[in-house]
Amino acid sequence: MRNKQGILGAKRLLTCQVLLTAVVSILIVAMYGLSAGKSAALGGLVSIIPNAYFAWVVFRFQGAKSARKIVNSLYKGEAVKLLLTFVLFGLVFAYVPIKPLAFFLTYIVVQMVYWFAPLIFDNK
């Protein structure tokens, strides 16, 4: 049986991150211009892509019989998520001219969705 509540929660978090990235990017475009807005969007994507990969890896296996696979997928998912984050940061810094403040601000704000998830989502 699939862990529908866990999958639903992951989808909700990722959706919230995508929407927050869009809102912050639009606000930054309005205040500081298109170049800063692109940097903000990239900051959000550098946060979202590794988190989406992690959610996909973690929720591949379900049920008590798959407990060992679930734990292994957690470790593998977290390790690859960190590696993917470093690679994405490196690619952005190497190949894209960015506005650092907009980039990091959006990255941090999107990462903070996890901190506020218990307040945002009702898990009754």
| DSSP result, 23-70 | HHHHHHHHHH-HHHHHHHHHHHHHHHHHHHHHHHHHTT--SGGGHHHH
**Within a domain: 120:** no
Task: HSE, CB side, 13 Å, CA atoms: give it for residue 56.
Answer: 8
In a domain, 57, yes or no: yes
Q: 22 lies in which domain range?
A: 4-114
Question: What mean pLDDT do residues 96-123 have?
Answer: 88
**pTM of the predicted model, to two decimals?**
0.86
Tell me whether residue 123 is in a domain. Answer: no
Decide if 122 is inside a domain: no
Residue 33 lies in a domain: yes
121 occurs within a structural domain = no
- Given a cut of 70, whether residue 94 has pLDDT beyond it is yes
Confidence band of 2 (pLDDT split at 50, 70, 90): low
When divided into structural domains, the chain yields a total of 1
The answer to the question of residue 124 being in a domain is no
Q: Is residue 9 part of a domain?
A: yes
